[in-house]
């Protein structure tokens, strides 16, 4: 498929739409309809594997998993409007994006902005095709909220660095092919001593040790670097620019986290869930008046959150820059997600506290595990406390000494 054909598509939105529709018709396997959760699986196996892989290959070669990324690096090259049409048509067909992960959400956009031409050519196409898994090597045991205190050291050896140190909470690190990491190249300066490096996880000296969560899952690991050789061509930006680049990437992370852990483990709305577990009186009111009032309060606030997200999107489209309200989205979205989970649990009573096995439905067990795992959403991607500090200091101007 040629770049020219894409350019033609962009002339007329309706022509583009019917083109997308025809393409989906020809390429999206009907067996995968509504099976979006497959995209979250590490390796799709079983009966759906062949269809899933075909779908992924089709989307990957079209670049539509990363629709607005430049076509020259394997992206879809679509305008925002076209991307919107694509997602509408996909939703209509019951299709989903099979290409995701940290490469798409965080690293790709950052590399497109800061990477060299060679680096973009090397890394972006593989992300667009969903071939390479990336992980984020930022946090260390001693550097969490205070990320800039990180100690993993990269020693200059001419054409390469020798990296030593430890990262932790590396999501997907045990399955990742590559890691984008913040390392220290200068011990005399805190922020300006940090450099952004790309590290191949198969390099000798890289080891990982999974960490188990209270929810039972092990989505992340400790990552150790022991005399790991990293060519200088894998440095993004200059030495000492890592903090600026790394922070830009965090903005992409936060945008993607908004609404994360929104407790959407159960397919049912809270009122429906409550009707099922608590029951209603002859007037259709929930039998537990106390719970009813709290669900009503939650639903009002949740609507306000969605309204705010929409308002922020509208304001940013109008070209007046980022709305100040955007700073509250991560705090509010994760808070409500956790509240929703707690309410689901209260509604289900003991039935919402099963761990495994007999006596609990899959939905119930998912709700329990999701409730536990969801506690992380207010910790990662900038904790609620750190976001509050940012609001107080940068937006409200409440500084330490005034």
Paired residues of 164 in beta bridges: 153
Told to check if 8 binds ligand FAD by CB under 6 A, we report no
356 is catalytic: no
CB of 138 to ligand FAD, least distance (A): 3
Q: Which of 134, 161, 277, 302 binds other proteins (CB under 8 A)?
A: 277
According to DSSP, residue 146 is labeled S
Judge contact between 62 and 71, C-beta under 8 A: no
297 binds, among ligand FAD, other proteins, none (CB under 5 to 8 A by kind): none
**Cα–Cα distance between 382 and 379 in angstroms, integer?**
6
145 binds ligand FAD (CB under 6 A): yes
| Number of C-beta neighbours around residue 390 at 10 A | 15
| Best CA proximity match to 339, nearest among 291, 298, 292 | 298
Q: Which of 193, 368, 381, 382 binds other proteins (CB under 8 A)?
A: 368
The catalytic position among 253, 342, 346, 356 is 253
* By the rule CB under 6 A, 225 interacts with ligand FAD: no
Residue entry with tokens 């990293």:
230
Q: Of the two residues 143 and 230, which places its CB atom closer to other proteins in the complex? A: 143
Q: Which residue has the tokens 């000798």?
A: 204
Distance CA 286, CA 128 (A): 48
Decide: is 211 part of the binding site for other proteins (CB under 8 A). Answer: yes
Binding site partner of 357, from ligand FAD, other proteins, none, Cβ cut-off 5-8 A by kind? other proteins
Q: What is the dihedral of CA 346, 349, 355, 359, to 10 degrees?
A: -150
Assess contact for 38 and 98: CB atoms under 8 A: yes
Binding segment (CB under 8 A) for other proteins, from list 90-98, 128-136, 300-308, 381-389? 381-389
User: How near is the Cβ of 1 to ligand FAD at its closest, in Å?
Assistant: 35
Give me 289's structure tokens. Answer: 């008046």
Judged by beta carbon, residue 231 or residue 349, the one nearer other proteins is 349
Binding of ligand FAD by 121 (CB under 6 A): no
Alpha helix stretches (DSSP H) within 63-116: 80-93, 102, 108-114
Applying CB under 6 A, which residues contact ligand FAD?
136, 138-139, 144-145, 169-171, 220, 376, 379-380, 383, 385-386, 389
- The residues carrying an active-site annotation are 253
């Amino acid at each position: 498929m040629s770049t020219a054909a894409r350019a033609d598509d962009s002339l007329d939105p309706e022509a583009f739409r019917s083109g997308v529709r025809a393409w989906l018709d020809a390429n999206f396997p009907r067996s995968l309809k509504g099976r979006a959760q497959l995209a979250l699986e590490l390796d799709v196996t079983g009966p759906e594997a062949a269809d899933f892989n075909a779908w992924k290959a089709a989307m990957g070669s079209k670049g539509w998993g990363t629709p607005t990324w430049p076509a020259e690096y394997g992206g879809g090259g679509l305008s925002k409007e076209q991307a919107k049409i694509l997602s509408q048509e996909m939703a209509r067909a019951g299709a989903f994006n099979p290409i995701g992960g940290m490469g798409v959400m965080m690293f790709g956009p950052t590399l497109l902005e800061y990477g060299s031409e060679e680096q973009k050519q090397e890394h972006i196409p593989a992300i667009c095709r969903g071939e390479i898994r990336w992980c984020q090597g930022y946090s260390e045991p001693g550097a969490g909220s205070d990320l800039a205190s990180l100690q993993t050291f990269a020693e200059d050896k001419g054409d390469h660095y020798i990296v030593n140190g430890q990262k932790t909470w590396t999501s997907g690190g045990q399955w990742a092919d590559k890691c984008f990491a913040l390392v220290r190249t200068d011990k005399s300066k805190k922020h300006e001593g940090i450099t952004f490096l790309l590290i191949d996880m198969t390099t000798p000296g890289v080891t990982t040790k999974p960490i188990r969560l209270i929810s039972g899952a092990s989505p992340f690991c400790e990552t150790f670097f022991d005399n790991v050789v990293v060519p200088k061509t894998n440095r993004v930006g200059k030495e000492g620019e890592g903090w600026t680049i790394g922070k830009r990437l965090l903005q992409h992370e936060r945008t993607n986290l908004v609404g994360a852990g929104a407790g959407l483990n159960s397919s049912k709305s809270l009122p429906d869930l409550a009707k099922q577990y608590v029951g209603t009186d002859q007037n259709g009111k929930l039998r537990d008046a106390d719970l009813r009032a709290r669900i009503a309060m939650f639903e009002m606030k949740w609507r306000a959150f969605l309204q705010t997200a929409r308002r922020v999107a509208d304001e940013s489209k109008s070209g007046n820059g980022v709305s100040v309200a955007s700073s509250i989205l991560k705090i509010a979205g994760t808070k409500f997600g956790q509240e929703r989970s707690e309410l689901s649990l209260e509604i289900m009573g003991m039935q919402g506290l099963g761990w495994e096995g007999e006596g609990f439905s899959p939905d119930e067990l998912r709700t329990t595990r999701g409730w536990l795992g969801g506690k992380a959403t207010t910790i990662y991607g900038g904790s609620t406390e750190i976001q509050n500090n940012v609001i107080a200091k940068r937006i409200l101007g409440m500084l330490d000494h005034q």
